[in-house]
């Protein structure tokens, strides 16, 4: 998830671009850059790290006459966060910025390299500007070359491109990644990934639709639809509150990030699924040579996604898999064998306990892999290999979309290993891949479901505690649901394997004990149901989450009937996330910054 901005007009474009990128830092900030064409002079600046570094580089750069400019703040998906990989990417006479993932960049890059094009970066984006300049040689106009280029791209993108031959034009295209355009009182045009950068400049904005492409100049605004039909912009009034704009109108970043899961998981999958196999370009299959066991190590929510992985790896990859709580692993003098692949999982890539276990594993000579959301973080730099989750910046302290993308990566990884180890028939792998493609639909939040949970949450604001219970992968989900509730409502909650209730916890059963029971249709339903009935018979208050009716529950939060238990997992994940959100809001808590917590625990 990155942020892009653009401007065409007589104002201080450097200031407009840099201020716009500042407003988009919540979308990603491992590197940033701008390119401005004033007259015949292109000026481009790029810097890694926070935007202040780019400000420093541009401090002597003045834009005091008509110009066209584009800018970008990056959240790495392809290629390390370096200056070379930062956008804008340059051709001979053109620059491009891009948010999204070009799925077919490798084949386009191969052809361009054969044509003798020299690439500077590892990114997919750089292909766009070189492909444009290749098409320019055989097109009657720059716009025709741009149109052909867009037709040749597969994947998700929001693109702004400028070229020296068209000194007063910005070309744009949008498909799958957000982009909008605003107009100010001088009829000057502004582009951005979201509306925050335009607040204070424009009063009217046009949200582009998927498939839109076109160009703007001082006197023109030309938009074509996916069907190549010219269309008029549809302007709406721009909100004026920047913070609510960053939250896109949601009450909290956590709420926004729950709703974003559909989009970010789509990014997580991009370029990694063919019909018959899972592809992880960023790792070599040799990483798994000689490996007979996988040991997963993490903290908190990342531990819960890792626990989910243990079921998938042993079930599909047939690889012995174990899991560790990082803070415990550090001090228990563990036995580590070199045929074990040590996998750390971390949203931030900076959690102190997890990082220390990674160092222990490397010191013991084990091969290491990190599943992480932040490229260039300490763990990414230290591990032998890395798979990025592509969740974008997660602002809410209580992790949601990071967890969802971690589990998505693990499900894919279990099939990647299944093919490598020949532990599953190709047809079975293909069936699982088809199911994985349905994850984004499974995490889409329905208004009806959200409203139902919001109303029901008023009954769960007191009591002497919560049990979240589930079996199989729904046990780690129960742990995650309990953690979400604890973190933001400050009510006591425990996650438990359903089968464990009779080994002591059921002594707590009474009407003031709330049990959130995960009852999937496709995994041990009857066994989980009888566990819940044991609690219900002792008058515990039961809230069941299930695709099936359950008459012993005091409340039922229905999910859709699914083809597979893992899709039920993702549907129930959204329910427990929304449930904790709505309880916390009713209790008046700061959902995004709960007391005593930090987004990244970089100390012991």
Residues lying near ligand AGP in the complex (CB under 6 A):
299-302, 346-348, 351, 354, 397-399, 487, 600-601
Task: Output 117 or 372, the one with its CB closest to ligand AGP.
Answer: 372
CA contacts within 13 A on the Cβ side of 338: 4
- Of 550, 546, 575, 573, the residue nearest 561 (C-alpha): 546
Give the CA distances from residue 101 to residues 124, 155, 180, 272, 521, in Å, rounded to whole numbers and listed in that order. 7, 6, 18, 11, 35
- Interatomic CA distance for residues 162 and 69, integer angstroms: 8
Q: Cis peptide before 88, with omega less than 30 degrees from 0?
A: yes
Q: Which of 395, 431, 454, 599 is catalytic?
A: 599
- Sheet with 67-74, edge to edge strand ranges: 41-48, 31-38, 67-74, 3-9, 189-192, 180-183, 204-207, 235-237
Crossing angle for the helix pair 565-586 and 474-489, to the nearest 10 degrees: 10
Q: Which of 2, 202, 386, 543 is catalytic?
A: 2
Torsion of CA 22, 25, 28, 34, to 10 degrees: 0
- Three-class SS of 309-337: HHHHHHHHHCCEEEEEEHHHHCCCCCCCC
- Interatomic CA distance for residues 515 and 554, integer angstroms: 10
Task: Output 21 or 591, the one with its CB closest to ligand AGP.
Answer: 591
Tell me if residue 599 is catalytic: yes
Task: Output 301 or 310, the one with its CB closest to ligand AGP.
Answer: 301
176: which DSSP letter?
A: B
- Interatomic CA distance for residues 316 and 314, integer angstroms: 6
Task: Output 48 or 577, the one with its CB closest to ligand AGP.
Answer: 577
Task: Output 34 or 355, the one with its CB closest to ligand AGP.
Answer: 355
Task: Output 77 or 373, the one with its CB closest to ligand AGP.
Answer: 373
Structure tokens at 139: 């097109």
Cβ of residue 85: shortest distance to ligand AGP, in angstroms?
Answer: 23
Active site residues per annotation: 2, 599
């Amino acid at each position: 998830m990155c942020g892009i901005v653009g401007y065409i007009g007589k104002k201080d474009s450097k200031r407009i671009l840099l201020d716009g990128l500042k407003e988009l830092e919540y979308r990603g900030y491992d590197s940033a850059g701008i390119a401005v064409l004033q007259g015949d002079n292109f000026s481009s600046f790029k810097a890694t790290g926070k935007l202040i570094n780019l400000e420093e580089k541009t401090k002597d750069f003045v834009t005091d006459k008509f110009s066209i400019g584009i800018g970008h703040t990056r959240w790495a998906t392809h290629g390390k966060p370096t200056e070379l990989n930062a956008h804008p990417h340059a051709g001979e006479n053109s620059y491009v910025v891009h948010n999204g993932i070009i799925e077919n960049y490798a084949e386009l890059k191969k052809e361009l390299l054969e044509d003798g094009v020299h690439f500077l970066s590892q990114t997919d984006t750089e292909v766009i500007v070189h492909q444009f300049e290749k098409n320019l040689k055989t097109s009657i106009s720059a716009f025709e070359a741009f149109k052909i280029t867009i037709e040749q791209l597969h994947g998700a993108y929001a693109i702004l491109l400028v070229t020296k031959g068209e000194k007063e034009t910005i070309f744009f295209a949008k498909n799958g990644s957000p982009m909008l355009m605003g107009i100010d009182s001088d009829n000057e045009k502004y582009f951005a990934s979201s509306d925050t950068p335009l607040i204070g400049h424009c009063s009217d904005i046009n949200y582009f639709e998927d498939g839109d492409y076109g160009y703007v100049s001082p006197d023109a605004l030309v938009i074509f639809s996916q069907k190549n039909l010219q269309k008029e912009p549809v302007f709406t009034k721009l909100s004026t509150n920047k913070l609510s704009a960053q939250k896109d109108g949601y009450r909290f970043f956590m709420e926004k990030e729950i709703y974003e899961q559909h989009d970010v998981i789509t990014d997580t999958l991009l370029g990694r699924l063919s019909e018959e196999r899972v592809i992880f370009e960023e790792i070599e299959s040799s990483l798994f040579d000689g490996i007979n066991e996988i040991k997963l190590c993490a903290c908190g929510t990342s531990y819960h996604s890792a626990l989910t992985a243990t079921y998938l790896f042993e079930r599909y990859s047939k690889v012995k898999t174990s899991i560790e709580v990082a803070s415990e692993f550090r001090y228990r003098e563990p036995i580590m064998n070199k045929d074990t692949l040590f996998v750390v999982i971390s949203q931030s890539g900076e959690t102190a306990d997890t990082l220390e276990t990674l160092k222990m594993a490397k010191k013991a000579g084990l091969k290491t892999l990190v599943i992480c959301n932040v490229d260039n973080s300490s763990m990414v730099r230290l591990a032998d290999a890395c798979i990025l989750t592509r969740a974008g910046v997660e602002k809410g302290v209580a992790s949601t979309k990071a967890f969802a993308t971690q589990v998505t990566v693990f499900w894919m990884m279990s099939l990647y290993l299944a093919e490598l180890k020949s532990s599953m028939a190709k047809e079975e792998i293909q069936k699982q891949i088809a199911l994985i493609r349905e994850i984004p639909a499974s995490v889409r939040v329905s208004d009806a479901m959200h409203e139902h949970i919001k109303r029901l949450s008023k009954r769960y604001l007191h009591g002497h505690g919560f049990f979240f219970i589930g079996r199989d992968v729904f046990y780690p989900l129960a742990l995650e649901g309990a953690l979400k509730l604890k973190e933001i409502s400050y009510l006591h909650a425990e996650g438990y394997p359903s089968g464990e209730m009779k080994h002591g916890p059921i002594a707590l059963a009474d009407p003031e004990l709330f049990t959130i029971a995960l009852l999937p249709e496709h995994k041990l339903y009857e066994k989980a149901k009888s566990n819940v009935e044991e609690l219900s018979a002792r008058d515990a208050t039961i809230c069941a989450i299930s695709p099936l009716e359950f008459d012993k529950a005091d409340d039922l939060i229905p999910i859709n009937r699914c083809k597979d238990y893992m899709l039920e997992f993702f549907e129930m994940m959204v329910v427990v996330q929304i449930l904790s959100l709505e309880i916390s809001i009713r209790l008046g808590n700061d959902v995004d910054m709960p007391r005593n917590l930090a987004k990244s625990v970089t100390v012991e």
